[in-house]
Amino acid sequence: MCGIFAVYNYQGDIEAYRQRALYLSKKIRHRGPDWSGCYTTKNHILCHERLAIVGVGSGAQPIVSDDEDIILSVNGEIYNHKQLRHDLKGDYVFKTESDCEVIMHLYKEHGADLVNHLDGFFSFVLLDKKRNRIIAARDAIGISTLYYGWNSKMPESIYFASELKSLNEDCDKILAFPPGHVYDSDTKETTRWFNPTWWDENKIPANPVDYTQLRESLEKAVRKRLMAEVPYGVLLSGGLDSSLIAAIAARETEKIAAGIKASESEDEDFDESGPTSWPKLHSFSVGLPGSPDLIAAREVAKHLNTIHHEYTFTIQEALDAVSDVIYHLETYDVTTIRASTPMYLLTRKIKAMGVKMVLSGEGADEVFGGYLYFHNAPNTDDFHTETVNRVKNLHTSDCLRANKSTMAWGVEARVPFLDKSFLELAMNIDPKEKMPDRSIGKMEKYIIRKAFDTSDDPTAKPYLPKEILWRQKEQFSDGVGYSWIDSLKQTSENKISDEDFAQSASKWAKDAPTTKEAYMYRVMFDQWYPQEACTASVVRWIPRGDWGCPEDPSGRAQKVHDSAYEAKK
């Protein structure tokens, strides 16, 4: 993961603008502290802040093709880069060992359609000097962040950046670049390239669940994400999702380090450099002292025999970090900020250890309807529609959190649950299989739990302890310690007067805060990003009120939670 900043068709002196571009690119240097690059030609400029994970010694960007016709700046990882190199028809000179360089050679053979060949997560800007053409694209789900902007004084110019903070000073219109889309300056249009079979939320699938296929698909998704030439690890909250990823990573790490293929049909072109170089898996957890997540994560780490690192924080340390978290997140969404703060604190500790890549469990709750409010779904069709919509909008919430909380410290988060092949399988399962039903003991995310339940085979080694595999959903902002959210609410009550709160609707035309906590975050956001253009990319999420859900996004606000807020009244 890296940081990119680019301007196409700058309407002015590009060389005079170079220092300004370097300044704007430096704003996202936290994403790529290992090296900086800048390339100008005609009236175009591409800047890059590099985080070196693959091709560490030779992957500086922007990458310039051997014939100097193609310039490329990429943020992301291409897991099938070895296979793509092998499949190229032309005889190209590769100047680096980077997994991303293959993109420019794919462009020569496939044009903008190259994105359909990529397996990974990415955002990139590619400049074709001969055709004076720029191509920009973002991965299928939006795991990698990307924005584009315009300045009304230079209507023919277009700006691109990994984060909003590189654009807000120079652009008066800024949008989040839509996931699964590609922009082409030849047409001046942004069009969808990602069109999976499950994209239509009104098309209800009827496929029965195949537990073996589901398990093997996720194992393959984890295995391909072990590509790294630097120390790596897993984020381990002790909840189901992160624990499953950790369990699979531990097994796959052992296999790869021992030279064992996952199966006879395993693709030999997978880059499995991580376990080859770093054969012992590290795990990381965070929470308030005695929090549910720390206790559960400790148990998982012991079961998996990982090298486990446990960090605690104080309420005051977390409160002190909230403003900086909002600066990095570039949002005022309540649930995102709540969950991002502990992740932000943990990542700083991880970076201090020299680790640059972590696996994480984002996406499972959206794919399988794991949030506790899904218990309120009125029927299976509505349940499925909500899962599709939640996956489509992950780039505004959990993907944004995972990307920016970790990249604030130059650490890359990879998310196996959002693998394209795994999504194609999981999103086409009949929602009747996914929908929870407490009356018959069928809890949330039942089918993914069952896929990794080996209790019916006494000879099989369990993936996870039973009490973890069947642990109730605990949202990260709750699991780190219930007093975290409680303290945020109390702090906002103390800071925001009733008089100020009453003026919310007149103060903000868009997304007027409906709680004092939301008001507190909106004030902090405006301090960092006062320009009106900065709010266009922000999406605020609350649970489904039409399902009878409370507005508070905390899992404890849901009645099915074992210790819900209502139980304390």
pLDDT digits (tens, 9 = 90+) for 205-235: 999 999 999 999 999 999 999 998 888 999 9
pLDDT digits (tens, 9 = 90+) for 445-468: 999 999 999 999 999 999 999 999
The sign of the dihedral angle between the CA atoms of 202, 206, 211, 216 is negative
The sign of the dihedral angle between the CA atoms of 198, 204, 207, 213 is positive
Statement: residue 474 has pLDDT above 70? no
Give the global pTM: 0.94
Instruction: Output the pLDDT for position 548.
Output: 86
Mean pLDDT of 86-91: 93
Q: Which residues, in sequence order, are CB contacts of 30 under 8 Å at separation 6+?
A: 3, 328, 407, 408, 409, 410
Statement: residue 31 has pLDDT above 90? yes
Torsion region of 33: left, alpha or beta (phi above 0 gives left; psi -120 to 50 gives alpha):
alpha
Cα–Cα distance list, 494 to 109, 158, 490 (Å): 61, 43, 6
pLDDT band at 256 (very low <50, low <70, confident <90, very high): confident
Specify the range with the lowest mean pLDDT, choosing from 132-141, 191-200, 345-354, 545-554. 545-554
Cα–Cα distance list, 510 to 149, 301, 538, 552 (Å): 20, 44, 10, 19
Indicate the length of the chain as a whole number: 569
How many Cβ atoms from other residues are within 10 Å of residue 2's Cβ? 31
The CA angle 404-77-85, to the nearest 5 degrees, is: 165
The CA angle 151-153-154, to the nearest 5 degrees, is: 70
% of the chain at pLDDT higher than 70: 93
Instruction: Output the pLDDT for position 554.
Output: 59
**Residue 87, helix vs strand vs coil:** helix
Statement: residue 203 has pLDDT above 50? yes
pLDDT digits (tens, 9 = 90+) for 105-120: 999 999 999 999 999 9
Rounded Cα–Cα distance for residues 242 and 415 (Å): 10
What is the amino acid identity at position 251? R
Statement: residue 568 has pLDDT above 90? no
Q: What's the alpha-carbon Rg for the chain, to the nearest Å?
A: 23
- Bond prior to 62 in cis (omega within 30° of 0): yes
Rounded Cα–Cα distance for residues 40 and 64 (Å): 11
The residue behind tokens 């988060």 is: 413
Rounded Cα–Cα distance for residues 205 and 184 (Å): 34
Statement: residue 282 has pLDDT above 90? yes
Instruction: Output the pLDDT for position 561.
Output: 56
Alpha-carbon torsion angle 542, 375, 301, 423, nearest 10: -80
| Catalytic-role residue among 2, 100, 399, 549 | 2
Instruction: Output the pLDDT for position 567.
Output: 37
Contact 263, 269 (CB under 8 A): no
pLDDT band at 564 (very low <50, low <70, confident <90, very high): low
Instruction: Output the pLDDT for position 58.
Output: 61
**H helical segments located in 353-445:** 364-368, 380-392, 398-407, 420-426, 431-434
What is the amino acid identity at position 237? S
pLDDT digits (tens, 9 = 90+) for 238-255: 999 999 999 999 999 988
Contact 362, 417 (CB under 8 A): yes
Contact 374, 250 (CB under 8 A): no
Rounded Cα–Cα distance for residues 18 and 39 (Å): 9
pLDDT digits (tens, 9 = 90+) for 390-408: 999 999 999 999 999 999 9
Rounded Cα–Cα distance for residues 311 and 284 (Å): 8
Cα–Cα distance list, 322 to 57, 113, 327 (Å): 36, 41, 9
pLDDT band at 265 (very low <50, low <70, confident <90, very high): very low
Helix pair 482-495, 315-329: axis angle to 10 deg: 80
Rounded Cα–Cα distance for residues 49 and 28 (Å): 7
Catalytic annotation present for 2: yes
DSSP single-letter state for residue 66: T
Rounded Cα–Cα distance for residues 375 and 378 (Å): 9
Domains (ranges, CATH) in the chain?
3-192 (3.60.20.10), 211-568 (3.40.50.620)
DSSP H or E run through 234: strand 232-235
Statement: residue 569 has pLDDT above 60? no
The CA angle 549-467-554, to the nearest 5 degrees, is: 20
Rounded Cα–Cα distance for residues 34 and 248 (Å): 30
pLDDT digits (tens, 9 = 90+) for 338-349: 999 999 999 999
279 or 415, greater pLDDT: 415
Rounded Cα–Cα distance for residues 141 and 545 (Å): 25
pLDDT digits (tens, 9 = 90+) for 413-449: 999 999 999 999 999 999 999 999 988 989 999 999 9
